[in-house]
């Protein structure tokens, strides 16, 4: 990108000659699009430390009112931060307020019940949460690695487990003959290498893929919207899909299934965050600007197919994946990018303040 171009901080978006474009808007115009810079603190910071970090960021961003800021502490820090970011207090102390939003990192799709460890959308709304992140890559792709699901499946392909299972099934009335035949086939001595290889393959595959399904994410989206929470809907491809040029195919599935049943009039309450998994984490690099442009245009065109051009122009699409102070301005020059979902850099007050202040003088 041309570094001499100053990225717009408030803008309109329109589609001309089959291309999306930004045009500048006056600050305060209610019809203008405001960038959204959201910090996802993940499993970091106790409540008091979270407030201290937020206070330092606000101090570095005094009187910055032309963009929206979001803060997503762990569940334990939500109430404490909610008390601190009361709009009238922020206006008096920092000259900001109505553009600061409290985010939850996840929610559950049921309102109550025997779901130990889960938090419902109405519980979040009751303590002042404004928006909730749903479908984050940590939850889409990484859960199996930590919860042991993959190794549990692999153990079920051991000879001892299958032998025990075969005996148990033979004691049932009318057992499934196809299942019995499959187990008996796998237990034959000449197939021992196949059985061991299958167990190893499945464990590796589930480690890579086990996580929240598109169906579960869709239910969470509806639960959040029905309780008055705005949604930050995350989508993105893993390294394998990226290498096999299946990015658009995967994204279309995630978006169509994740937003299924979301009405057109509700879409202004949805923000989409594109986060390629291969560009996230220590040692990774941000996606190239050209790819970010192509993917954001693809998502916006898909939204146009689903909801019409007006909604597609208005819905904010963020980028997430190694967003830093030195690359945010270039990203914001792109017509399809409306902000960022920031991980590690949001834990550093100076870095996140620089991201929030993109395009402004130091």
Domains and CATH numbers, the chain: 11-141+212-356 (3.20.20.70), 145-207 (no CATH)
Which residue bears the tokens 């909801």?
307
Q: Are 7 and 27 in contact (CB under 8 A)?
A: no
pLDDT of residue 28: 81
Query: Taking the model in full, what pTM does it have?
Result: 0.89
Residue 301 CA, distance from chain mean position: 20
Residues designated as active site: 136, 275
CB atoms within 10 A of CB 19: 10
| Cα–Cα dist 83/87, whole Å | 10
CA distance readout (Å), 65 to 49, 59, 91, 229, 252: 24, 13, 10, 22, 34
CA atoms within 13 A on the CB side of 307: 23
Please, which pLDDT band fits residue 3 given cuts at 50, 70 and 90? very low
Cβ-based neighbours of 286, under 8 Å, separated by 6 or more = 279, 321, 322, 323, 324, 327
Distances, alpha carbon 189 to alpha carbons 98, 179, 196, 200, 354, in Å? 69, 18, 12, 18, 64
DSSP per residue, 20-40: EEEEE--TT-TTSB--EEEEE
Q: Judge whether 107 and 224 are in contact, CB under 8 Å.
A: yes
Does pLDDT of 4 surpass 70? no
Do residues 206 and 150 make contact, with C-beta atoms less than 8 angstroms apart? yes
Confidence category of residue 263, pLDDT binned at 50, 70, 90: very high
**Position 172 pLDDT exceeds 50:** yes
Provide the sign of the torsion angle of the four alpha carbons 93, 326, 232, 347, taken in this order.
negative
Distance (Å, whole) CA 254 – CA 246: 12
In this predicted model, which residue has the larger pLDDT, 210 or 318? 318
pLDDT band at 208 (very low <50, low <70, confident <90, very high): low
């Amino acid at each position: 990108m041309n570094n001499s171009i100053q990225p717009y901080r408030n803008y309109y978006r329109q589609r001309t000659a089959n291309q999306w474009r930004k045009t500048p808007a006056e600050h305060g115009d209610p019809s203008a699009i405001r960038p959204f810079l959201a910090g996802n603190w993940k499993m970091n910071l106790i409540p008091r430390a979270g407030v201290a970090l937020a206070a330092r960021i606000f101090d570095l961003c005094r009187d910055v009112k032309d963009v929206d800021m979001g803060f997503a502490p762990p569940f334990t820090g939500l109430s404490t931060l909610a008390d601190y970011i009361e709009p009238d207090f922020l206006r008096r102390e920092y000259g900001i307020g109505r553009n600061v939003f409290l985010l939850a990192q996840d929610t559950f799709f049921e309102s109550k019940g025997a779901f130990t460890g889960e938090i419902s959308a109405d519980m979040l709304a009751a303590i002042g949460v404004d928006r909730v992140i749903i479908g984050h890559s940590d939850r889409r792709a990484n859960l199996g690695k930590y919860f042991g699901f993959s190794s549990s499946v692999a153990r079920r392909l051991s000879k001892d487990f299958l032998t025990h299972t075969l005996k148990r099934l033979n004691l049932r009335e009318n057992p499934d003959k196809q299942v019995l035949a499959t187990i008996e086939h796998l237990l034959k001595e000449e197939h021992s290498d196949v059985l061991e290889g299958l167990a190893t393959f499945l464990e590796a595959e589930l480690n890579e893929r086990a996580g929240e399904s598109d169906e579960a994410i869709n239910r969470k989206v509806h639960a959040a919207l029905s309780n008055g929470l705005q949604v930050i809907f995350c989508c993105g491809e893993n390294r394998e899909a990226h290498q096999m040029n299946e990015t658009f195919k995967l994204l279309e599935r995630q978006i169509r299934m994740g937003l299924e049943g979301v009405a057109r009039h509700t879409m202004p309450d949805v923000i989409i965050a594109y986060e390629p998994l291969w560009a996230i984490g220590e040692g990774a690099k941000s996606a190239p600007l050209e790819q970010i442009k192509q993917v954001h245009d693809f998502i916006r065109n898909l939204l146009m197919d689903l909801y019409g051009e007006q909604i597609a122009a208005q819905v904010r699409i963020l980028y997430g994946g190694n967003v830093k102070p030195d690359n945010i301005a270039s990203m914001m020059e792109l017509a399809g990018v409306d902000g960022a979902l920031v991980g590690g850099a949001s834990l550093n007050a100076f870095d996140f303040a620089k991201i929030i202040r993109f395009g402004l003088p130091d």
